[in-house]
Each structure stands twice: as structure tokens, then as C-alpha cells.
Amino acid sequence: MSNHRTDRIRFILDGTVIELRNVDPTRTVLQYLREDLHRTGSKEGCAEGDCGACTVVLAEVGKDNRLHARAINACIQFLPTLDGKELLTVESLRGSDGSLHPVQQAMVNCHGSQCGFCTPGFVMSLFALYKNAQSPSRVTIDNALAGNLCRCTGYRPIVDAARAMYGCASERSDNWLLAACSSGPASSDEKRRVERLQSIQHGDTVALEYGAKRYFAPRSCNELAELLGAWPDARLLAGGTDVGLWVTKQHRELDTVIYTGRVTELCGQGVADDAINIGAAVTLAEAMPLLLRHFPALHELLLRFASPPIRNAGTLGGNVANGSPIGDSMPALLVADACLRLRSANGTRELPLAKFYLDYQKNALRTGEFVEQIIIPLPSAGDELRTYKISKRFDQDISAVCGAYRLRFDDDGRIVEARIAYGGLAATPRRAHRCEAVLQGALPSTDLTHKAQQALREDFEPISDMRASDQYRRQVAGNLLQRLFMDISAAQSGAELTGIYEYGRAREA
Ligand SMILES: Cc1cc2nc3c(=O)[nH]c(=O)nc-3n(C[C@H](O)[C@H](O)[C@H](O)COP(=O)(O)OP(=O)(O)OC[C@H]3O[C@@H](n4cnc5c(N)ncnc54)[C@H](O)[C@@H]3O)c2cc1C
Ligand code: FES
Ligand code: FES
């Protein structure tokens, strides 16, 4: 049954409720700020979510009735998705008396700005950090800045500013902005902001028309299915971290866009029936704590998945549905035997992820069908899970090769179940069945590793592209298998694992 519809969106900017009717569905927040409002603090560096010059912060009321802030990339966020949110740009941080925010003051004090082009983006990422962490470690600071590029290589003073900003408090009435992350009671300013945000919440379906373009933001799965039935060629939009680039880089025209971010059922996650269930519109940042509770071995992979602004918008559902051969979540989901719940107006069905990918950018979704949930069975006792991402850059880079491995051992140390999957080696992320067959029932040994590496060479015929050559990919995939056995053997003998922990500690020093 269709919901009541509205043709307007409302959001808050600097304390004012902005109401817009029938805006262009694919106009980006950055275009709106710079071209419509002439609010040019937020910069455009790359228009593809890579450089962070356009970073802004969204504030929303959480289930705890408190205000939560997250950094996003304005260059790939479509304007209508701001409905119901508060938008903060670098201009929002200035006090009414012109005073600088503690983050800005710290950047000045520590000489954190050189050419200045990247500075507003750094300030907004640091502002999000300021609102979300107290006394952050070097690893936390580096992670917060992973989505911001400074071409002047001025990171050291920026990191200094990140440490100094907590000591740069000033006296202003907008004290939610000025208060660093704390579990204390809400200030009067925060309460005012929460009330203002609550006043613009609504249960209507947003339905915008702009020339020949349409945008819908339904509230329920039934309605989403109904809309997809009526507009079978519509493009589903979740975080837009893939779709946004189709518009800004490939200049594709999207006639009908259906946004999943307001569909209540798609925004939930939890554990039931021995499985983690993640709604298709849950952001990667929201899914991370639940995933890490049950799969701590995914820590490095998830931290190296893009950057905080991308993870704050992008979803696991979007990653899976997009099905890029170098998408990072799929190898891990494949070895975990994940399933997808697919839904349409005709009902739901469950499909193992291993059967979802048919060919390059082709999946098993039928017309009118969408991903409702990702279902990940909880790991069993004795499971050893590992993932390795190989990319040119440590932070914010796309994989050349991504390997995921789940081995289950019996008490004698024999492999009783083997799951191996790779991204970057074929037209879709997929399992390495020949390699798995070699490992199944065997005892780990140097000889076994060589046989498994040989089988892996028969499993895949990688291609060469700008990220890596076919030879490099083949070599790396085999080397990762060797690393897997070394890491498992080190862990079983109580030795430390290699990875971000050591890396982080080394940088901490
Ligand atoms: C700077 C940058 C860095 C990145 N780094 C990484 C990285 O390190 N690793 C990586 O794997 N990816 C990376 N990505 C790609 C992207 O962030 C991920 O693929 C992300 O998970 C996509 O999610 P989204 O919600 O933004 O999807 P969207 O862009 O909204 O949608 C992606 C696709 O999924 C479809 N879709 C969305 N929801 C559904 C649904 N419920 N049912 C059916 N179809 C649906 C859309 O129609 C579209 O085809 C990066 C992107 C950028 C811009
Ligand atoms: S302009 Fe580079 S991330 Fe947005
Ligand atoms: S200060 Fe120039 S790019 Fe950062």
C-alpha cells in the first residue's frame, strides 16, 4: 500500500530549515553548496570521493536521542538524500563573533595549512573526530584522515593539530559544536539541535520530479518493491559511493533513482538464528562493530575499506550488489558462506552469495528484485578466518588482489573444511574450488602449500590492468596462501599476528 507522498525535502543548515521542492535527483551536495549557495569553503578536488577536499559533516538524531556526526564526501552525495539531516560545512564552524572553532585554531597554531586547498576538508574530518573520540591514538587520527589528501605532504602538522585541538576550547554559545566527544548530559545547544531535527522528520515517501527525472525515497520494503515494479529501469541508490561516480565521472544520466536509505527494514541489523543479518542500507561504518564482534579477523580489511567518509555513506549491500571484481567485502562473505535475501513484489528468496555473480557486472537479480539483507552464518569453533588486501597505498585504495580464507581444523590439525576466495583475479569475486579441494582433508605442510599454490594457478586467469599485471596478481595470490599458513601456524603457537596492529604500534612510537 502506497504511503503519503511529498515533493519536498527539508534539511538544516546553520540553524535554518532549508526546504527544496523537486530538485535534480543527481545534483550533488557540493554543486548545491558551491554553485547555488556560493558557499565555496568546501572544495572540489577530484569529484570522486578520493581526496577529501569536499568533506562535510552530517548530524542526525540517534536512537539514544543524541546528536551523531559523521563525515561524508559532498562531491558524490546526492542532494535529496539530505532530507531530515543537519548539514555542517566548514563555514558552520565559525562562531557568530567570528571566532575559530578549536579544530581551526589548532590548525592555525600547528601550521597545519600550506596551500590551503585541502584544509577545509581536513578541518571537517578533524571536526568529526573531535565529535566522536576523546584523546584519540595516532592510529585513530590516521584513520580519521585516511580520506584526506594533502599534496604538500604536510601531514605531520595536521596530525599535531589533531592532538592539540582538544586543548583549544573557546567560549561560545553554540556549545554542541565546541564540545569534544563526551558521554556527559546533552547541552542546551545539543537539545535545541535535536528538537529542530525532530521537527523535520516525517513518514512520507519523498517523490520528486525534475524534468524527465524522478527520485523516490520510500519508507518500507513493500513500497520499494511496488516502486521497482512500476519503474523497472530505476537505479537503486544506497550510499552512492559507486553510483555517485557514474554521474560525476561518467556523466551518466539517471532518469529514475530510488533511495534505500529511508527504508526502515533495510536499515536494521542484528543476530538471529546463528547468523548476522545486515540490512542492505546499513552503512559500512554501522556494520563494522557487529561484524568485528563476531569476525575480529576482518579488522584490517574493514579499516582499509576506502576511508571513513566513504564508509559513513557506503553500504555492504551496495558493495555486494555492485559486484565489482575488486570489491573488498565479497571474498570474506564468500568464505563465510553468506547468503542474500532478495525481495520483490512477488515475495522473497534466499540465494547463496556464491550463486549471485553470473559474469562481469552481471548478477542474479531479477527485474523488480532488490537485496534486502545479507545473512552471514556465525563462525564455528575451530574456524580460522584471514583476509589480506593488497593495494598500492595502505589507506583509501582499491585492491589489486584481495584474498579471504576460512579453514576449519580437527583436533589432529587436519583441515576438515576449506574455503578460499579472491577478488581481483577474475571477472567476479569467486571461490577457488581447485585449491579448496587440494586442502580438504590434508595436514598443513610445505608440500601442501606448493600443491595448493599450483591449484590456485589453475583456478584463475587474471588480467592485467592499471592496478597490476596478470603475473603480479598470480604471484601475489600464491604468496598470500603461504602467508596464510605462516600466520595460522604463528597464531596456533601463540605468536603475534602480523598486520595493522604492529603497523599501528610502529607508527604510534
Ligand atoms: C574513494 C572511494 C574508495 C573506495 N574504496 C573501496 C574499497 O576500498 N573497497 C571496495 O570494495 N569498494 C570501494 N569503493 C566502492 C564503494 O565505496 C563500495 O562499493 C560501496 O560499498 C558501495 O556502497 P553504496 O551504498 O555506496 O552503493 P551505491 O553506490 O549506492 O550502489 C552501488 C550499486 O548497488 C546497487 N544497489 C544498492 N543497494 C541495492 C539493493 N538494496 N539491492 C540491489 N541493488 C542495490 C546500486 O543500484 C548500484 O548498482 C570505493 C569508492 C570510492 C568512491
Ligand atoms: S572532491 Fe575529492 S573527495 Fe570530493
Ligand atoms: S595544504 Fe595544500 S594540499 Fe594540503
Which among 425, 509, 386, 504 has a CA at the least distance from the CA of 139?
504
CB-based contacts of 443, cutoff 8 Å, min separation 6 = 412, 413, 414, 415
In the reported structure, the alpha carbon of residue 122 is separated from the centroid of ligand 3 by a whole-number distance in angstroms of 9
CA of 326 to the centre of ligand 2 (A): 21
Look at the block and give the residue holding cell 535545541: 192
Instruction: Say whether pLDDT at 502 is over 80.
Output: no
For the Cβ of 260 lying below 6 angstroms from any atom of ligand 1, the answer is: yes
- Per-residue pLDDT at 174: 75
**Dist. CA 328 → ligand 3 center (Å):** 29
Query: Which residue pairs from 229-237 have beta carbons closer than 8 angstroms and sit at least 24 positions apart in sequence?
Result: 229/344, 229/345, 229/368, 231/256, 231/258, 232/367, 232/368, 234/258, 236/260, 236/321, 236/370, 237/78, 237/81, 237/261
How many whole angstroms from 302 Cα to the centroid of ligand 3? 27
- Mean pLDDT value across the chain: 94
**Cell triple for 206:** 519523498
DSSP 22: S
CA pair distance 441, 458, nearest whole angstrom = 20
**Closest ligand to Cα 244:** 1
**Does any ligand 1 atom lie closer than 6 A to the CB of residue 49?**
yes
Q: How many angstroms is it from 164 CA to the middle of ligand 2?
A: 26
Ligand nearest to the CA of 47: 2
pLDDT at 463: 86
For the domain covering 382-509, report its CATH number: 3.30.390.50
509 pLDDT band, cuts 50/70/90, is very low
- C-alpha–C-alpha distance, residues 240 and 261, integer Å: 10
CATH tag, 8-199: 3.10.20.30
Measure the CA–CA gap between 369 and 47, rounded to whole angstroms: 30
Pocket test for ligand 2, best of 28, 35, 46, 118 (most atoms within 8 A of CB): 46
Query: Which ligand lies nearest to the CA atom of residue 310 in the structure?
Result: 1
* Count of CB atoms situated within 10 Å of the CB of 380: 10
Report pLDDT digits (tens) over 36-72: 999 999 999 999 999 999 999 999 999 999 999 999 9
Instruction: Identify which of 242, 361, 428 to mutate to test ligand 1's pocket (most ligand atoms within 8 A of the CB).
Output: 242
The alpha carbon of 244 and the centre of ligand 1 are apart by a number of angstroms equal to 9
Q: Number of H helices and number of E strands within the chain?
A: 18, 21
CATH 3.30.465.10 fits 211-322+337-378, yes or no: yes
Nearest CA to ligand 3 atom 4: 150
Coil, helix or strand at residue 167: helix
Which CB contacts under 8 angstroms, 24+ apart, belong to 193-197?
Answer: 193/12, 193/59, 193/67, 193/86, 194/61, 194/65, 194/66, 194/67, 196/12, 196/15, 196/17, 196/86, 197/12, 197/59, 197/60, 197/61, 197/67, 197/84, 197/85, 197/86
Q: Could you tell me if the CB of 395 is within 6 A of ligand 1?
A: no
Atom of ligand 1 nearest to the CA of 241: 26
Nearest protein CA to atom 51 of ligand 1, as residue: 241
Radius of gyration of the chain, Cα coordinates, nearest whole angstrom: 24
Give residue 311 CA to ligand 1 midpoint distance, Å.
10
Does 82 sit in the ligand 1 pocket, CB within 6 Å? Answer: no
The pLDDT value recorded for residue 496 is 57
Is residue 325 predicted with pLDDT exceeding 80?
yes
- Grid coordinates standing for 245? 561516480
What pLDDT does 296 receive? 94
494 versus 211: which is more confidently predicted? 211
Q: Which residue minimizes the CA distance to atom 41 of ligand 1?
A: 371
- Residue-by-residue DSSP string for 203-226: -SEEEEEETTEEEEE-SSHHHHHH
CB distance 322 to ligand 1 below 6 Å: yes
DSSP labels, 435-496: HHHHHTTPPP-HHHHHHHHHHHHHH------SS--HHHHHHHHHHHHHHHHHHHHHHHTTPP
The CB of 340 under 6 Å from ligand 1? The reply is no
Residues of the chain with CATH 3.30.390.50: 382-509
In 3D space, the residue among 432, 434, 416 whose CA is nearest the CA of residue 424 turns out to be 432
Tell me how far the alpha carbon of residue 322 lies from the centroid of ligand 1, in angstroms: 6
What pLDDT, on a 0 to 100 scale, did the predictor assign at position 154?
82
Which residues, 6 or more positions from 331, have their beta carbon under 8 angstroms from its beta carbon? 387, 402, 403, 404, 421, 422, 423, 429
Mean pLDDT to the nearest integer, 494-505: 54
Locate the ligand 2 atom nearest the alpha carbon of residue 54 and give its number: 4
Percent of the chain with pLDDT over 70: 96
Proximal ligand: closest to the CA of 75: 2
Alpha-carbon distance of 420 to 31, in angstroms, equals 43
**DSSP 8-state symbol, 36:** I
Taking only the tens place, the pLDDT of each residue in 2-47 is 679 999 999 999 999 999 999 999 999 999 999 999 999 999 999 9
- The residues lining ligand 2, judged by C-beta closer than 6 Å to any ligand atom, are 44-47, 49-54, 73, 75
Q: What are the residue ranges of CATH 3.10.20.30 in the chain?
A: 8-199
Instruction: Read off the pLDDT of each residue in 113-123 and give the average, rounded to a whole number.
Output: 94
Q: Where in the chain is the domain with CATH 3.30.465.10?
A: 211-322+337-378
CB-based contacts of 163: which residues, under 8 Å, 6+ apart? 141
Q: How far is the centre of ligand 1, averaged over its atoms, from the C-alpha of 273 (Å)?
A: 27
Q: Which ligand 2 atom is at minimum distance from the Cα of 76?
A: 4
Whether residue 508 has pLDDT greater than 90:
no
Ligand 2 atom with minimal separation from the 44 CA: 1
Q: What is the mean pLDDT of residues 180-194?
A: 90
Give residues (CB < 6 A) around ligand 3. Answer: 113-119, 150-152, 154
d(CA 194, CA 68): 10
